[in-house]
């Protein structure tokens, strides 16, 4: 079968701003992403491979978020137009999972028919704020998170029953309470309304539990491509102590654990660490442990104690790592560092810090996880 190369059209593209679908072909986009990577890290890394693209670059997002609002008298679900507070109703988005999109539309209709009050960001009144749907690409388990401005949720049981009647594919429903004036979607209180309160997914033969707030890569098919490259770059023999910094629910470290002596996962989000521990147990992995800590602080403490590591994997958020982390990482004297980056610009900055410490980028393999957006993921191998 030939790769999908014809670009599909989206009716919202000009107003929504979340992606740039339809502006150029997917192949052109991949070429531009490679240029972007070269622009930011070319100075530090001579070997930059072509971007590994998706086989079918549509409906890849396994995590879909929408904000509720009212347009005239109608309850709608959509997104704020980029950089504004104007709600653009979106249905049938081309990059989002189609089942998740359908559930979101049903939820908006139910809010209308149950006469529930939609939250208004300006007046700070109303109840229903956001909806988040996450799907396990291989298990097909689906989690719906309804974000409300208050704990009180009128007709809650009936609402949940109706949502499930329309979508029997839903495996869990969680109410998240967010009463703050914030751009963050999720608040810190949660009530499970149906099912276990989390979903599971299978990746690289391992089973992972995912909670509402835990980070999990949004593009499952490309995540496997990415993780395989990370495992390859780590070149493990079974004797290494590996550090998986910024480990989320422990996915990368667990994929490496069978080929390592021991893996230490470091993650700031306590809920993600809880998931990570459950995941290790579930997959019968006994040579990995997790610490809930700021990666820089923990690495600095390891460095002060004179500890060593053979391979360091790091996968920081878009803001990248810190100079102190780089210093601490280098002092553990690893033979290789596998940097998984979702932002070439901060990767470039961090590579400059590594170079100053005598560690050099050998090669970089970009992977497209977010088709039709500006983002590009990159695996970068750094050696002494």
Q: Does 272 bind ligand SAH (CB under 6 A)?
A: yes
How far is it, in rounded angstroms, from Cα 60 to Cα 220? 8
Residue 378: both structure tokens together:
């990159």
Q: How far is the CB of 238 from ligand SAH (least distance, A)?
A: 22
In the bound state with ligand SAH, the residue whose beta carbon lies nearer, of 271 and 331, is: 271
Half-sphere exposure of 382 (CA within 13 A, CB side): 33
Q: How far is the CB of 227 from ligand SAH (least distance, A)?
A: 8
Q: Does 208 bind ligand SAH (CB under 6 A)?
A: no
Rg from Cα positions in the chain: 22
Q: Does 377 bind ligand SAH (CB under 6 A)?
A: no
Contact pattern from residue 312 through residue 351 relative to ligand SAH, giving x for each residue in contact according to CB under 6 A and a dash for the rest: ---x-x----------------------------------
**Local structure of residue 326 (DSSP, 8 states):** H
Q: How far is the CB of 190 from ligand SAH (least distance, A)?
A: 17
Task: Find where tokens 């999109």 sit.
Answer: 101
Contact 370, 33 (CB under 8 A): no
* Inter-helix orientation angle 26-41/344-356, to 10°: 30
What is the length of the chain? 384
Q: How many residues bind ligand SAH (CB under 6 A)?
A: 17
Nearest to 110 by CA among 68, 54, 49: 68
Q: How far is the CB of 155 from ligand SAH (least distance, A)?
A: 34
Q: Does 79 bind ligand SAH (CB under 6 A)?
A: no
Q: Reply yes or no on whether 342 is catalytic.
A: yes
Q: Does 204 bind ligand SAH (CB under 6 A)?
A: no
- Helices (H), ranges, the chain: 13-16, 26-41, 98-113, 156-166, 220-234, 251-257, 270-282, 295-304, 323-331, 344-356
Contact pattern from residue 275 through residue 314 relative to ligand SAH, giving x for each residue in contact according to CB under 6 A and a dash for the rest: -------------------xx-------------------
Residue number of the CB closest to ligand SAH reads 248
Residue 211: both structure tokens together:
């909670």
In the bound state with ligand SAH, the residue whose beta carbon lies nearer, of 167 and 336, is: 336
Catalytic residue among 342, 375, 378, 380: 342
Please say whether the dihedral angle defined by the alpha carbons of residues 286, 269, 228 and 37, taken in this order, is positive or negative: negative
Contact pattern from residue 240 through residue 269 relative to ligand SAH, giving x for each residue in contact according to CB under 6 A and a dash for the rest: ------xxx--xx-------------xxxx
Interacting residues with ligand SAH (CB under 6 A): 215-217, 246-248, 251-252, 266-269, 272, 294-295, 315, 317
Catalytic residues: 342
């Amino acid at each position: 079968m030939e790769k999908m190369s014809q670009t599909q059209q989206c009716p919202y593209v000009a107003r929504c701003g979340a992606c740039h679908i339809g502006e150029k072909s997917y192949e052109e986009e991949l070429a531009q992403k490679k240029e972007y990577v070269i622009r930011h890290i070319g100075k530090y890394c001579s070997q930059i491979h072509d971007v590994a693209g998706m086989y079918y670059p549509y409906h890849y997002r396994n995590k879909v978020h929408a904000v509720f609002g009212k347009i005239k008298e109608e309850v709608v679900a959509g997104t704020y137009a980029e950089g504004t507070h104007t709600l653009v109703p979106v249905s049938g988005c081309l990059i989002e999972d189609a089942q998740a999109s359908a559930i979101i539309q049903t939820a908006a209709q139910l809010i209308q028919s149950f006469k529930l009050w939609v939250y208004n960001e300006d007046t700070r009144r109303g109840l229903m704020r956001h909806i988040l749907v996450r799907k396990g690409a291989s298990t097909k388990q689906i989690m719906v998170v309804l974000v409300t401005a208050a704990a009180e949720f009128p007709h809650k049981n009936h609402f949940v029953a109706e949502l499930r009647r329309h979508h029997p594919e839903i495996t869990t429903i969680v109410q998240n309470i967010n009463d703050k004036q914030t751009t963050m979607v999720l608040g810190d209180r949660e009530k499970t309304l149906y099912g276990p309160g989390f979903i599971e997914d299978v990746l690289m033969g391992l089973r992972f539990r995912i909670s509402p707030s835990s980070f999990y890569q949004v593009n499952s098919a490309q995540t496997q491509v990415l993780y395989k490259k990370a495992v390859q770059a780590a070149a493990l023999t079974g004797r290494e102590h590996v550090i998986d910094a910024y480990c989320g629910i422990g996915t990368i470290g667990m994929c490496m654990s069978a080929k390592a002596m021991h893996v230490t996962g470091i993650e700031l989000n306590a809920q993600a660490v809880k998931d990570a521990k459950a995941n290790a147990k579930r997959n019968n992995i006994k040579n990995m442990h997790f610490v809930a800590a700021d990666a820089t602080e923990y690495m600095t403490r390891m460095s002060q104690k004179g500890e060593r590591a053979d391979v360091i994997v790091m996968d920081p958020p878009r803001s990248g790592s810190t100079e102190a982390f780089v210093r601490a990482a280098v002092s553990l004297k690893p033979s290789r560092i596998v940097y998984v980056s979702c932002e070439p610009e901060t990767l470039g900055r961090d590579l400059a810090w590594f170079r100053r410490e005598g560690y050099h980028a050998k090669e970089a393999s970009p992977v497209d996880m977010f088709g039709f957006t500006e983002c590009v993921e990159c695996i970068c191998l750094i050696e002494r």
